[in-house]
Structure 1
């Protein structure tokens, strides 16, 4: 569980500091500015898709082939791709905000800030991924802590003290960029050369398909849900603020399973036990966040109970298929996991079009139930335990 806490710490801190930024900006700018977090939420999955390709996929390939040049070259190309794509996204913020039917005058500046901050955070995630596979988790934790806390302190202090919020945002992003550059120079391993992006995508296809599906489902779903009015917009933002950091931290279960699977060393019973301990910690932290923030946002109670209850159900069901999925992906058949993920995300995207403010929640529940059933079926036919290690009948 200690390893899960260390790996999950980075993801948790990335999202937790974002949550605190938007809460504090609510006091410094206006109470509704935290809606930007929900507006740009789908972009997080775009970020994670790039991490899957240029970090996770590359590092798994490098570990299995014992060739660190794969990781180094992918990192260099990843930096270039991230800067180009997020830069283009930031230049077209106005179009994005209009698509979401939100006022550009009120939210445009901070939507641009959120996009550019996510760009820098994606780069930091590439660095941390290299450190994970080099077994330097503590160093990755320190980098994440320094970077995110400095951003949190800077943007909040500047927005409170400067009347012109554009100046506050510009100064914050300049300082964040300098820190990110220093982190890359001091910690990343980079080299130039040909990168087999297709192989990176193949090895990380499960994550890539999953994140692209999430991007579409949340973009469509939130746009639809927001159209039902302020009541649902407030609850969606509230639930996102108290559970998103925990969902991101739960990625540690998958990351640890991928690392063990790349070494063909998965102790299933121990991994599942630790996963549930970790999940319980995450759920308790969500409930604590709910208690602390409830009187600030005043979400409609019955809507909150339905949405938060669904999230907690999803938290506890996820570990039952996550570990099996990672092992199958790396050591048996990417076709099985990719096909399963395509069906899963197809169901989730379809749910995003249901004309109800609960469409994304319905999609999440359909997703976790489908994956639980499908990997339970796969497990009974393809997996066995040798000693304490997870194995496949055909490897």
Structure 2
């Protein structure tokens, strides 16, 4: 069996690392990796392959910095050409990025089966590009690998039981990665000492809904600035977000640092007092490392975190952000709750290819 794996963004590198390791254990599968180039900064791309010992991509399309339509179109063109040459049995896609939908569409149009890792997630906000990507990818996938029961239920409500795709509840591959790589992170990351960190809040802001809407961005920054007056706030910042802040003269008094590799991020999560983020993956990683989370979004696909009190969705409202910060900073939660499986999702995903 030959699988072509499509990667393009940081979370996909993390997820693919553990699945690729499982694939390597199976002599009956050959994997070919296409990197679309969607994340092109070294700290957001190359370093992940190096740190996590992911096989180097067989192809790199270097497609980035374009609008959604232009980027997806260029990816479709490049991926299709490779698939026609490689003739795989499956194309495996991850998550909900432009790379995801481009890979799935390119495969399906030339009758190659699609396996979607993180199927069934829904924010129910169709204005989000990620929501469009995940819905369309699910609809044309042959293997739907769901990380949670909520994801399975979403697909069943949408009528997937009557469609051709096979639904598999696997647990979350990011839990696999967190368990495996946290040991290496302790040995290889020196970021805590380098930055001289003691008590601090870890924060990320990258979604277009927050960075492209200046009212939302200013509101979030105002809240973080106020919090930074009483506790250190560390923000690994995407170059695009940093440029927006500078262009519009939005002042910050928190610590902006360059994007970090996965090991550094794991160490930051491990040692922080609280996570504040608009990232889907970081919401879950906070839970894995027993940290409460202020979710800087109006909704989240990871509803079980909200339902069980591990996170609060606050949107961009300054007052709500501050209220959630004070409410969660010292809240004692039971993080032993099984929300995302046992850390064997990658095994189930690979096994599912043969079912």
TM-score (norm 2): 0.30
TM-score (norm 1): 0.28
Instruction: Indicate the structure with greater strand content.
Output: 2
Instruction: Indicate the structure with greater helix content.
Output: 1
